[in-house]
Each structure stands twice: as structure tokens, then as C-alpha cells.
């Protein structure tokens, strides 16, 4: 009788390792799935933000291009009132090239400053 009671007690104390292992794997898979969902959500938000930023930049570039074109034509027409067409275009083209060189030089200096 003593022998049977000890076997019964030992059976209660021994854990079901297969069940514990499956529960652990299930918990870990749920954690991994939750982390993947969080990563997916975060990446979707970042992608939306970058898309909005790029759309804004494209619109700005288009607006600046058309604005510069109309301003240049306006300057040419204004200068043409006093000078011939070829001189007006020459002055306007030279001013645009000079501004481009100035802008490029300024941006290069800023880039060198940021690198050092």
C-alpha cells in the first residue's frame, strides 16, 4: 500500500513536458506574431509619411519650375521694353546661370561644413 501511494504522488509531481513545450512554443509564436504586426504597422505609417513628403517635394519642384519660367518670361518682357530681344534674353540667361552657380557653390560649402 505504501508503494502504490508513492507512485501516485510521483505522477502528480511530474510535469507533462510535451504540454509545457507546446505551450511555450505557442506563447513565443504569439509574441513573434504580435511583434510582426507592430512592425508592419510602423512600416506602413513610415511609408505613408514618406509618400506624403515625396508628393510635397514633387509639387514644390513643379511649382518652382513653372514659377521660374513665368518670372523669366516676365523679366524678358520687361527688359525688352528698353532693349532688343537678344539682349533681353542674354541678360536673363546670364542672371539665371549666375544664380545657379551661386546656389551650387553655397550648397557645396554647406555640405563640406556638415562633413567636418
**Largest Cα–Cα separation, the chain:** 124
80, 92 Cβ separation under 8 angstroms: no
Which regions in the chain score pLDDT beneath 70?
Answer: 1-15, 116
For the chain, the domain total comes to: 1
Residue 58 lies inside a defined structural domain of this protein: yes
The predicted pLDDT at position 3 comes to: 55
Residue 12 lies inside a defined structural domain of this protein: no
Residue 10 lies inside a defined structural domain of this protein: no
Residue 59 lies inside a defined structural domain of this protein: yes
Other C-beta atoms closer than 10 Å to the C-beta of 38 total 10
The predicted pLDDT at position 11 comes to: 55
The predicted pLDDT at position 7 comes to: 55
Residue 3 lies inside a defined structural domain of this protein: no
| Alpha-carbon span 5 to 90, nearest angstrom | 110
| Alpha-carbon span 92 to 42, nearest angstrom | 49
pTM value? 0.47
| Alpha-carbon span 56 to 68, nearest angstrom | 18
| Residue ranges making up the domain that contains 42 | 17-115
Residue 103 lies inside a defined structural domain of this protein: yes
C-alpha cell of residue 96: 539665371
Handedness of CA 104, 109, 110, 111 (dihedral sign): positive
Residue 1 lies inside a defined structural domain of this protein: no
Residue 99 lies inside a defined structural domain of this protein: yes
The predicted pLDDT at position 16 comes to: 82
Amino acid at each position: 500500500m505504501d508503494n502504490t501511494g508513492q507512485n501516485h504522488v510521483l505522477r502528480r509531481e511530474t510535469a507533462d513536458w510535451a504540454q509545457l513545450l507546446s505551450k511555450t512554443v505557442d506563447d513565443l509564436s504569439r509574441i513573434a506574431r504580435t511583434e510582426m504586426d507592430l512592425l508592419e504597422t510602423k512600416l506602413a505609417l513610415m511609408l505613408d509619411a514618406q509618400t506624403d513628403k515625396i508628393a510635397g517635394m514633387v509639387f514644390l519642384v513643379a511649382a518652382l519650375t513653372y514659377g521660374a519660367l513665368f518670372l523669366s518670361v516676365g523679366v524678358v518682357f520687361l527688359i525688352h521694353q528698353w532693349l532688343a530681344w537678344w539682349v533681353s534674353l542674354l541678360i536673363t540667361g546670364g542672371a539665371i546661370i549666375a544664380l545657379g552657380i551661386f546656389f551650387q557653390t553655397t550648397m557645396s560649402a554647406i555640405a563640406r561644413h556638415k562633413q567636418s
